[in-house]
Structure 1
Amino acid sequence: MIKKKNISLYATIILFIIGTANSSMYGQDTKETDAPQEGATSVKQSQEVMNPTTLAWQLQLEEYSIFDTEGQDGFAQNFRFRGIIPVEKGFLIKVPQLLRVITFVNTATNGRTGLGASTFNQFFILSKKKWGQFGAGWNLNIPTATAAELGSHQWQIGPAATVTFTNLGNWQMYWIWENFFSISGNSKYGSSAFAVVQPNIFYTWSNGIYAGIEPEWQIDYKTGKVAIPMDFRVGYIWSGKLKYNAYIEPEIMAYRSDGYTRNLSNFGVRLGFRWYIPM
Structure 2
Amino acid sequence: MYIAIKTYITCILLIMVSPFMFSQEDNNEQEVTGNQDGKTSVELSQQVINPTTLAWQLQLEEFVIFDTENTDGIAQNFRLRGIIPLEKGALIPLPQLIRVIAFLNTAPNGVTGLGDITLNQFFIIMKEQWGQFGAGWNLTVPTATAPELGSPQLQIGPAFTVTFTDLGNWQMYWIWENFFSISKNDEFGSNNFAVLQPNIFYTWPNGVYAGMEPEWQIDYQTGKVAIPMNFRIGYIWSGKLKYNAYIEPEIMAYRSDDYARNLTNWGMRLGFRWYIPM
What's the TM-score once normalised by structure 2's chain length? 0.91
Whether the 8 Å CA contact 2:16–2:245 is kept in 1: the answer is no
Whether the 8 Å CA contact 1:212–1:232 is kept in 2: the answer is yes
Query: Gaps spanning 5+ residues in structure 2: where?
Result: 27-32
Tell me the distance in 2 between the aligned counterparts of 1:35 and 1:61: 28
2:61 — aligned with what? 62
2:206 — aligned with what? 207
SS at match of 2:194: strand
1:227 — aligned with what? 226
Tell me the distance in 2 between the aligned counterparts of 1:18 and 1:277: 25
**Pairwise CA distance, 1:232:** 0.5
Task: Please say if 1:26 is aligned against 2:25.
Answer: no
CA spacing shift, 1:129–1:18, aligned 2, 3 Å: farther
In the comparison of the two structures, how many residue pairs are matched? 272
Tell me the distance in 2 between the aligned counterparts of 1:180 and 1:97: 20
Query: Residue type of the partner of 1:15?
Result: C
Task: Please say if 1:15 is aligned against 2:11.
Answer: yes
SS at match of 1:43: helix
Tell me the distance in 2 between the aligned counterparts of 1:58 and 1:21: 22
SS at match of 1:166: strand
CA spacing shift, 1:204–1:23, aligned 2, 3 Å: closer
**Pairwise CA distance, 1:25:** 8.1
Tell me the distance in 1 between the aligned counterparts of 2:101 and 2:225: 23
Query: Residue type of the partner of 1:168?
Result: L
- Please list the CA deviations of residues 170-220 of structure 1 after superposition, one character each: whole Å capped at 9, or x if unmatched: 000010000000001112221100000000111100111011110000000
1:131 — aligned with what? 130
Query: Gaps spanning 5+ residues in structure 1: where?
Result: none
Whether the 8 Å CA contact 1:41–1:239 is kept in 2: the answer is no
CA spacing shift, 1:274–1:54, aligned 2, 3 Å: same
Tell me the distance in 2 between the aligned counterparts of 1:93 and 1:274: 28
Query: Residue type of the partner of 1:26?
Result: F
What's the TM-score once normalised by structure 1's chain length? 0.90
SS at match of 1:11: helix
1:268 — aligned with what? 267
Task: Please say if 1:120 is aligned against 2:119.
Answer: yes
Q: What's the Cα RMSD here?
A: 2.6
Query: Residue type of the partner of 2:206?
Result: N
- Please list the CA deviations of residues 56-84 of structure 1 after superposition, one character each: whole Å capped at 9, or x if unmatched: 00000000000010000000000000000
SS at match of 1:263: coil
**Pairwise CA distance, 1:110:** 0.3
